[in-house]
Amino acid sequence: MTAGRRRDLTADCSSCAGLCCVLPAFAASADFAIDKPAGRACVHLTGDARCGIHADLRQRGFPGCTVFDCFGAGQRLVAVAAVEQPAADPGVAAAFPVLRQLHELLWYLTEAGALSLPADLRGEVAAALDRTDRLAAGTPDELAAVDAAAVRAEAGELLGRVSEAARAGRRGRGRDRRGADLVGADLRRADLRGVSLRGAYLIGADLRGADLTATDLLGADLRAADLRGADLSGALFLTRPQAAAARGDGGTRLPAAFERPAHWPAGVPVRGARPHPRGGRGGAAGR
């Protein structure tokens, strides 16, 4: 993933207008301390469109905010909208969720374009990247008219073939655990190289010391998963929100494009014992 593209797909709150603090609705829960209707500014949003409790979000009951990532859609939309109060503009409100989805797809497609792929597949990825980028460059009205679900479905099929090609020859290739229920599974020190965990439920799973090289993690739910000492440096289609939703430490290896989540301790990895013969709920990933 090129440095320039990485910057374009990284949130820059200083160039935004607090769109994620105004436009979405959220309910009081384990993720948010208060109810907030859509279109109403969060009570902690300051006059300069910054979060007044950013450094203490988790301690103040807002962990959901720490795992949200607009993939750079916020600042891009504010720049093209050219209105005095973007967060109050109906066109911006309609365009923001669409542009965020397009930017997330650009993240995946950019990663795919950097992989070693057959020439024909590499050409398809380049074409999809160009089409998606052109859609993302639209005006707020043009963005609101985009069928984001259709764009995602088309890109998802292509990314599935990219995943197959990228995992070819890997030890776990053919171990398809797409959408698997691995909630709370004991996967300590598991060899998950080349396994497809696309869309799998790994909530609270114990992945300490696991090797996820060339593991397809597109859409996998990693909330509260224990990644201490795990190797995700070569994982496929991992996003920053996924990493931020999990638990890691100083021994967790992340892709080069990632910053370590601020709430992860910097201590040495905790090495898990050998996994039990039977995994947690959903069974072992290799089954």
Distance CA 36, CA 41 (A): 8
CA dihedral 163, 168, 170, 171 (to 10 degrees): 100
Distance CA 17, CA 45 (A): 10
Distance CA 143, CA 68 (A): 21
pLDDT digits (tens, 9 = 90+) for 7-61: 789 999 999 999 999 999 999 999 999 999 999 999 999 999 999 999 999 999 9
CATH architecture for residues 172-287: 3 Solenoid (2.160)
CA dihedral 287, 159, 157, 100 (to 10 degrees): 110
pLDDT digits (tens, 9 = 90+) for 183-203: 999 999 999 999 999 999 999
Q: pLDDT category, 104, cuts 50, 70, 90?
A: very high
Please state the pTM of the whole predicted model: 0.89
Distance CA 282, CA 199 (A): 14
Domain coordinates of the chain in residue numbers? 3-167, 172-287
pLDDT at 281 over 70: no
pLDDT at 28: 95
b/e for 203-229, b at 16 or more Cβ within 10 A?
bbbbbbbbbbbbbbbbbbbbbebbbbb
Distance CA 86, CA 16 (A): 9
- The amino acid at residue 12 is D
pLDDT digits (tens, 9 = 90+) for 201-212: 999 999 999 999
Distance CA 55, CA 86 (A): 25
Residues pairing with 216 in the sheet: 196, 236
